[in-house]
Chain A
Amino acid sequence: VQLVESGGGLVQPGKSLKLSCSASGFTFSSYGMHWIRQAPGKGLDWVAYISSSSGTVYADAVKGRFTISRDNAKNTLYLQLNSLKSEDTAIYYCARRWSVDYWGQGVMVTVSS
């Protein structure tokens, strides 16, 4: 199992960014997937989940601003981040299945002017 995030970077407040998580080593379409973030020096904070049938749920802090999606043909998970705020600055991890059994290496998102 391998999960590789990409798409992070420095972005101004109010702007957008799209993260990707490329999956390999398992049948991606059969598993639900999470995005979980970790602000610098802080603990883990669940962001969003998409089921294998593409049902989605979000944390209140990101609802209406972030969108989780998946492309099973490309074995890729996405997170569209809109209307970014400074408090969204964090390492963003993708993780597999309901019980978070495998995690990617993470991608840094910095929101600053």
Chain B
Amino acid sequence: DVVMTQTPPSLSVAIGQSVSISCKSSQSLVYSDGKTYLHWLLQSSGRSPKRLIYQVSNLDSGVPDRFSGTGSQKDFTLKISRVEAKDLGVYYCAQTTHFPWTFGGGTKLELK
């Protein structure tokens, strides 16, 4: 199975600050069609996960451009600029390139 390693496990941030979350996979996430199926999800407290970014860097509809995703092969980063209170929660990376699909362990973003 592809192991997804997220760091850090938690982040304390002040409103308006910028943060980055790393996600590393144990093997390349490039699929046979040339696309990379690495996605970022946010699970706010008591809610179901919501996808923010798909295929490394594409923002889902309604996601502010304060969010950005970069990376390739096995190394990916989610950056949040000018953090707002509604951004708090647990962020997960997810790979849907290789069966079985796997998730990172999560990064909890909290207020400082």
CB A77 to nearest CB in B, in angstroms, measures 15
Residue B105 at the A interface, CB < 8 A? Answer: yes
- Provided the pairs A98-B37, A99-B37 are in contact, do residues A46 and B100 lie with their beta carbons within 8 angstroms? yes
Residue pair A100, B100 in contact (C-beta under 8 Å): no
C-alpha spacing A103/B50, complex, angstroms: 7
CB A83 to nearest CB in B, in angstroms, measures 20
Residue B39 at the A interface, CB < 8 A? Answer: yes
Instruction: Say which one of B12-20, B68-76, B91-99 lies at the interface with A.
Output: B91-99
Residue B44 at the A interface, CB < 8 A? Answer: no
Task: Collect the chain B residues with CB atoms within 8 Å of residue A101's CB.
Answer: 51, 54, 60
The total of chain B residues at the interface (CB under 8 A) is 22
Task: Collect the chain B residues with CB atoms within 8 Å of residue A46's CB.
Answer: 100-103
Residue pair B54, A99 in contact (C-beta under 8 Å): yes
Residue pair A100, B41 in contact (C-beta under 8 Å): yes
The total of chain A residues at the interface (CB under 8 A) is 19
Residue B45 at the A interface, CB < 8 A? Answer: no
Residue pair B103, A99 in contact (C-beta under 8 Å): no
Task: Collect the chain A residues with CB atoms within 8 Å of residue B104's CB.
Answer: 43
Residue pair B49, A93 in contact (C-beta under 8 Å): yes
Q: Which residue from A45, A57, A100 sits with its C-beta under 8 Å from B51?
A: A100
CB A41 to nearest CB in B, in angstroms, measures 11
Task: Collect the chain A residues with CB atoms within 8 Å of residue B49's CB.
Answer: 44, 93, 100, 103
Residue B32 at the A interface, CB < 8 A? Answer: no
Residue pair A104, B48 in contact (C-beta under 8 Å): yes
**Chain A interface (Cβ < 8 Å from any Cβ of B):** 34, 43-46, 49, 57, 59-60, 93, 98-106
**Chain B interface (Cβ < 8 Å from any Cβ of A):** 37, 39, 41, 47-51, 54-55, 60, 92, 94, 96, 99-106
